[in-house]
Amino acid sequence: MSSLPEITKNYRCPHCKEPINIRVPKWTKLVSCPSCYFTSKLVMGEPKQFEQRKSFSFNATFLIPIGSTVVINDTTYICAGAVKKKLSDHVHFPWTEYYLYAPGKPVTSLSEVEGNWIFLEAIPHMPVPKGTVVQYQLRKYAQYSYDKVEVLHFAGESPSIATSSSIYKEYIAPPHILSCEITNDSAQWFVGRHVSKDEIESGIPDILSIPRRSAQGAITPNPVSIPGNLLMFAFVGYLALLSFVALISYAMETHLGSTKIKPLESTPYYEVPAAEVDAFKDSLLVANPKMMLYQADSIAFIRFQKKQQEVRDGKKVYYKTPSFTLESNWTALEIKLDADVSNTWVGAEGYLINQDTGEQIPFWKDVEYYAGETGGERWSEGSKRSRIIISSLDKGTYHILVSATKPNAKGPDLVVTWIKSPFLTSNFLLFFFIGLAVMLGTYFLQKSYETKRWANSDFDEYY
């Protein structure tokens, strides 16, 4: 670290006569006695009575000890003094300003309010506000506050005369700030920026503690700050990329084959004769005298449910498609079912079979479409096409077994088509809405953060 000024001048407190050690007498205009906290003004290099401030315990009030070093922007400062202030119209809104000194640097301070830190440097010329906007160094600042400020406590040395009250005007362009302090007939402008917790931890090793941030600061950076034009540009770029991927996916779609099959008339529900069921339960109870009746009913139900399924399966006819090959892993296959149904249905079930491994993947789907008129209004439901998507298939040789049924002999035929790497509109829409949700979520999170930022301002641009 660069060297800092040692004590260069000793005075006697006009009130208690105890010594006052001043490090930078050419810089200091106000000094507080560390023994009695009597505040003196330096006039021609000599302390004169200014005003008596309230007594307080320094370490319990200020976090940065006077005389400690502060490193910000690669510059080493000394904390020469500290002052606690508040808004005149608000009882519970105090903040602390630490006066920093470094040779050859302008008047500098470090402010802390509710865990938010701001570094400020005095600027020689006065920016000219236009309404509620100030332009400074190619950056536009919006007015955030215009308040009367009161001094509560003061300790150490100050480069300015801390009066009981002054006017503060603040203009912000987060994470930057322009601040103007008006005292009597003079005004001093400062330019500053937000200081992160990491900078405080690394730059002030002697700080007693770092308060937890309890409120959103006026210039705390927005964690999702993205300009609206850039956000829209990013979304348009995302749509362009998504459309390009969709075109490639559509070009990769391959029609492997198609076949027409005649559905069989649906097998009526097989009703097992009651006498056969009763005879079976009687045989169970005779063979097992301790068996309860409800146990016999349960066994009979399972037995004859299985028999009903065997009867139905025995009447099914499966059609086998020609074999086809999938050249790569993670391939999707679409089985498309088309039938010219009208107020009826055609059901299909079957298996996709991997001829290399013997793996069987079952599927079932109905094609049904109904339409009519009720109360003078036309209505319809269902579709004349159904789709079955089987994804993440291993490479290999496959064929399809499919069986179709219809409610009666007059039902239409079923056309079965199988397609490799189908283009899925649903996937395109899914990623479209994901991108849209991210964009809208980012926009509303950003707007919510800015709304909270301006909630304490009398110049709130969000209301």
Q: What confidence tier does 56 reach under pLDDT thresholds 50, 70, 90?
A: very low
- Per-residue pLDDT, averaged over 198-215, amounts to 91
pLDDT at 454 over 70: yes
Residue 239 and residue 438 in contact, taking contact as beta carbons nearer than 8 Å: no
Contacts of 68 (CB under 8 A, 6+ apart): 78, 79, 204, 205, 206, 207
Residue 229 and residue 87 in contact, taking contact as beta carbons nearer than 8 Å: no
pLDDT at 59 over 80: no
Give 269's Cβ-side CA count (13 Å radius): 3
Report for 164-168, 308-312, 348-352: range of highest mean pLDDT: 348-352
Where exactly are the structural domains of the chain?
Answer: 9-203, 254-422
Q: How far apart are CA 33 and CA 20, in angstroms?
A: 6
- Per-residue pLDDT, averaged over 365-371, amounts to 93
Residue 75 and residue 91 in contact, taking contact as beta carbons nearer than 8 Å: no
Q: How far apart are CA 278 and CA 263, in angstroms?
A: 36
Contacts of 142 (CB under 8 A, 6+ apart): 132, 133, 171, 172, 173, 459, 461
Q: 390 by DSSP, 3-state: which? A: strand
pLDDT at 38 over 90: no
* pLDDT for res 407: 84
Q: Residue holding tokens 């570094």? A: 119
The beta-strand segments (E) located in 226-323 are 254-261, 264-265, 319-320
Task: Count other Cβ atoms within 10 Å, centred on residue 255.
Answer: 12
Q: What confidence tier does 309 reach under pLDDT thresholds 50, 70, 90?
A: low
Residue 416 and residue 349 in contact, taking contact as beta carbons nearer than 8 Å: no
DSSP 8-state symbol, 354:
E
Average pLDDT score over the chain: 84
Q: Which two tokens stand for residue 256?
A: 């492997």
State percent of the chain over pLDDT 90. 38
Work out the angle between the directed axes of helices 274-287 and 293-314 (0-180°, nearest 10): 130
Q: How far apart are CA 274 and CA 29, in angstroms?
A: 111
Q: How far apart are CA 450 and CA 175, in angstroms?
A: 12
* pLDDT for res 37: 72
Task: Count other Cβ atoms within 10 Å, centred on residue 49.
Answer: 12
Considering only CA atoms, which of 182, 178, 208, 177 is closest in space to residue 195? 177
Q: What confidence tier does 339 reach under pLDDT thresholds 50, 70, 90?
A: very high
pLDDT in tens, 256-281: 999 998 887 655 555 667 777 778 77
- Domain spanning 254-422, CATH architecture: Sandwich (2.60)
Considering only CA atoms, which of 193, 135, 142, 146 is closest in space to residue 171? 142
pLDDT in tens, 217-262: 899 998 877 777 788 888 889 999 989 988 888 888 899 999 998 8
AA letter at 63: L
Alpha carbon separation from 333 to 174, 281, 355, 417 (Å, rounded): 53, 48, 16, 10
